[in-house]
Amino acid sequence: MKALKIIVLVLLSVVVIVYGMAFMMYRGMDNTLLNQEYYQTVVSDNEIPALVHDEIAKMIPDIVRDGLTEGKTITDPVQKAGVDAQVDLISGAIIDALSEEWIGNQVVMVTDDVVNSLTGESGKLTAVVDMVPRLDEIEQNIAKGLEQYSDAELMAMFGAPKAYIPPAIAEQIVDQLGLPETLVINDLVNDMAPGTITMVRGYLSLMSTWLGLLVMIIVFLVFLVLCILLLQRSTGMQWFGIITALSGVLFLIIKSMYSNLDKIGSTAGIDFGSLPVPASTIEGIVKYTFSQMNKTAIVFIVVGLVFFAVGLVMPKKQEQV
């Protein structure tokens, strides 16, 4: 009979440890990936708008050049000089229009929309990036830029001197770029990863149901009662304390193992070195994210130690009585 009690208690302990670690993971996600303040901190501390702006500045000239030449290699020196000048003009106009401040505002808007969608506050992604003001600014930048070129340079670029270039040339250039007036985030996500938001929202809904704070308290209270029934009161409290603290310790150990960027890359099959964001920045974000998951585990460890200590002290008090 005693052996059966131990077997049942061990099995229950394994279930509680796994459940406790799952609860800690969910709470960690709730404090990070499902928390808008987390994204604001990450964006601010890691200067994400500046990084994105730098990457755009690197990408735009090649995109503009391919658009002007249709991917062909220009060998004629005069024609090449004209294309180079157009690339500089248009690229500079686009890069200046897509400022760091504007990028930062869009990041906040989009992440806020994603969080609201995943947490169920909104039915779907509703964020729309309005590009019309950016297109107008690009047009204005091109118009200003054209004023800086000589007739000879304009001849190479457009085959006509300034006097024969129509006033609407800047508007025509922007129209030819084919940039959209709006970017609907929901459509972009559905195109790149159809059904992802719905799937993730379903998982999160399931997790919130089974890993909520109330359910966790009930599970651990039931486990505490069973520990006391299967063992003596003091021994049962010690066992409960050990298992509770152990779940927190194991979570911290496993989390620390996977907080390494190389480990995450090998597990997920991601080559972080090929991403446009520096590996050091990604590593900093990962460390910050995992550090925000420590709080619940520490609470579990402290609570477990308290119950263990009470279980140790309890027999002494009984003897004194």
Distance CA 71, CA 185 (A): 29
Pick the closest to residue 135 from 88, 177, 74 (CA basis): 177
**Angle, CA of 230, 234 and 240, to the nearest 5°:** 65
List average pLDDT for each run of 10 residues in the chain, which is 321 residues long: 84 96 93 90 90 91 86 82 90 94 93 88 86 94 90 84 84 88 89 81 87 93 93 91 97 86 69 71 86 92 96 65 38
DSSP 285-311: HHHHHHHTTHHHHHHHHHHHHHHHHHH
CB atoms within 10 A of CB 98: 19
**Residue 128 DSSP label:** E
Task: Answer yes or no: are the C-beta atoms of 258 and 264 closer than 8 Å.
Answer: yes
Distance CA 130, CA 97 (A): 13
Q: What is the pLDDT of residue 136?
A: 94
**Residue 183 DSSP label:** E
Distance CA 126, CA 195 (A): 15
Q: What is the pLDDT of residue 109?
A: 93
Secondary structure class of 184 (helix, strand, coil): strand
Helices (H) and strands (E) in the chain, counts: 15, 2
Give me 102's structure tokens. 């504007």
Distance CA 73, CA 302 (A): 67
Distance CA 227, CA 59 (A): 62
CB atoms within 10 A of CB 26: 20
Pick the closest to residue 315 from 236, 240, 220, 245 (CA basis): 236
Which residues, at least 6 apart from 138, have a Cβ–Cβ distance to it below 8 Å? 93, 94, 97, 174, 177, 179
The domain locations on the chain are 2-33+201-316, 38-118+132-179
Pick the closest to residue 6 from 317, 158, 231 (CA basis): 231
Which residues, at least 6 apart from 227, have a Cβ–Cβ distance to it below 8 Å? 9, 236, 237, 239, 240, 243
Mark residue 159 as left, alpha or beta (left: phi above 0; alpha: psi -120 to 50; beta: remaining): left
Task: Answer yes or no: are the C-beta atoms of 296 and 221 closer than 8 Å.
Answer: no
| pTM for the full predicted model | 0.80
Q: What is the pLDDT of residue 320?
A: 44
Distance CA 126, CA 124 (A): 6
Secondary structure class of 165 (helix, strand, coil): coil
